[in-house]
């Protein structure tokens, strides 16, 4: 019975994430992935990602029904960004730079409702390619 309830809650959260990703896709973000986690309160979970270079986008996390606060940190080559605002939908915008690199996303559920100790959290990313078309770097002199 507990497993059935957990699947129902996890399924509705997956649908919510699918809606977020569909909205990003509509706005031109084509490189996407998501991962479902079951987090215990106060215990960090690390996800490694290796996106291609020349991308810009967001890394997000969305908590289940009892999650009130998620701490998320993104670190990589010459980069550490922390979203420590009190909410259950942290969003970290960032750019990968010209070369691909290894990035670490650390997610921690800091607060939950009703004395809950664990709940589902989805982490997802959505990227689009950065337009790297350079203009004429040596324009002709006007006559």
Four-point Cα dihedral 79, 83, 88, 89, nearest 10:
-60
Mean pLDDT of the chain, nearest integer: 85
Using one digit for the tens of pLDDT, what is the confidence trace for 47-73? 999 998 899 999 999 999 999 999 999
Q: Which has the closest alpha carbon to 60: 78, 34, 27, 42?
A: 34
Q: For residues 25 and 128, give the distance between their C-alpha atoms in angstroms, rounded to a whole number.
A: 9
Using one digit for the tens of pLDDT, what is the confidence trace for 22-46? 998 899 998 888 899 999 999 999 9
Four-point Cα dihedral 6, 44, 90, 126, nearest 10:
-80
Has this prediction a pTM greater than 0.85? no
Kindly state the percentage of the chain with pLDDT values over 70: 84
Q: What is the pLDDT of residue 134?
A: 56
Give one DSSP letter per residue of 92-118, joined into a string: EEEE--SS---EEEEEEEEEESTT--E
Q: What is the pLDDT of residue 61?
A: 94
Given a cut of 50, whether residue 95 has pLDDT beyond it is yes
Which domains does the chain possess?
2-129 (2.60.120.380)
Check if the beta carbon of residue 90 is closer than 8 Å to that of residue 71.
Answer: yes
Q: What is the pLDDT of residue 142?
A: 66
Given a cut of 80, whether residue 136 has pLDDT beyond it is no
Q: For residues 36 and 123, give the distance between their C-alpha atoms in angstroms, rounded to a whole number.
A: 6
Counting Cα atoms < 13 Å in the Cβ hemisphere of 28 gives 7
Given a cut of 70, whether residue 3 has pLDDT beyond it is no
């Amino acid at each position: 019975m507990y497993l059935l309830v957990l699947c129902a809650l996890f399924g509705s959260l997956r649908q919510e994430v699918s809606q977020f990703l569909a909205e990003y896709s509509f706005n031109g973000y084509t490189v996407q992935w998501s991962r479902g986690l079951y987090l215990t309160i106060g215990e960090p979970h690390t996800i490694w990602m290796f996106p291609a270079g020349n991308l810009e986008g967001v890394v997000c996390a969305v908590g289940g029904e009892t999650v009130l606060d998620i701490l998320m940190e993104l670190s990589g080559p010459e980069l550490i960004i922390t979203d420590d605002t009190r909410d259950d939908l942290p969003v970290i915008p960032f750019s990968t730079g010209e070369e691909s690199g290894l990035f670490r996303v650390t997610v921690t559920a800091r607060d939950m409702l009703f004395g809950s100790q664990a709940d589902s959290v989805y982490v997802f990313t959505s990227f689009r390619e950065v337009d790297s078309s350079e203009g004429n770097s040596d324009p002709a002199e006007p006559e």
